[in-house]
Chain A
């Protein structure tokens, strides 16, 4: 099982997380060159950082077995009302996980 690598819970070379819990972020809509784990339904949507999870190689790099860059992963919380037109329940939310390179700061 030589190609599975353990996750690095403590930072290796990066050690830096751009965002913290509570920050407002927007998911970028980057072009998919290959299989991406960033779902279409969150692209361009603004959410709130709910947690910092771990640091890891980004999936797109890992898919090609490059020694990829280490970066912080986050759980982001979105309001359902911001994801879907006319979603009827005010308080409902969705959370997904994202690496830092897919996120940019958002104002609101």
Chain B
């Protein structure tokens, strides 16, 4: 019976370093008095999941099975939608769709770009 996904419920160092519970939307939004129940990147994340499924790069059922496993294990304590984001990246790293090295480098560049804007 094939109900296991191909994602390892192990911790990925990069993602562990990113999972700051103090910076989740459910903590930050009230602090800034923002009433939107979702962070502004949630729709982009949703669109990304749809695009990955539409192109065939990451079918929805594969992604959701892996996400379920990760949500019940590695990212259990993380609130949605951060949990969904971390799980997606975890799956993409596991499948070699992106690399940790590239991600670290790109995050650095993106942050620098956003902070100088």
Binding site for B on A (CB under 8 A): 1-4, 32-37, 40, 63, 65
Contacts of A33 in B (CB 8 A): 2
Main SS of the interface on chain B? helix
Category for how many chain B residues contact A: 10 to 19
Binding site for A on B (CB under 8 A): 1-3, 51, 54-56, 59, 61-62, 65
Main SS of the interface on chain A? loop
Q: A35 to B54, Cβ gap below 8 A?
A: no
Distance in angstroms between the alpha carbons of A19 and B81 in the assembled complex: 43
Q: A3 to B62, Cβ gap below 8 A?
A: no
Q: A34 to B55, Cβ gap below 8 A?
A: no
Q: B1 to A32, Cβ gap below 8 A?
A: yes
Interface centre among A32, A35, A65 (most CB of B within 10 A): A35
Q: B1 to A35, Cβ gap below 8 A?
A: no
Q: B55 to A35, Cβ gap below 8 A?
A: no
Distance in angstroms between the alpha carbons of A2 and B61 in the assembled complex: 18
**Would you give the shortest CB distance from A29 to chain B, in whole angstroms?**
10
Distance in angstroms between the alpha carbons of A65 and B55 in the assembled complex: 12
Distance in angstroms between the alpha carbons of A2 and B57 in the assembled complex: 11
Q: B54 to A3, Cβ gap below 8 A?
A: yes
6 residue pairs, one from A and one from B, having the closest CB atoms: A3-B56, A1-B54, A32-B2, A4-B54, A32-B1, A35-B61
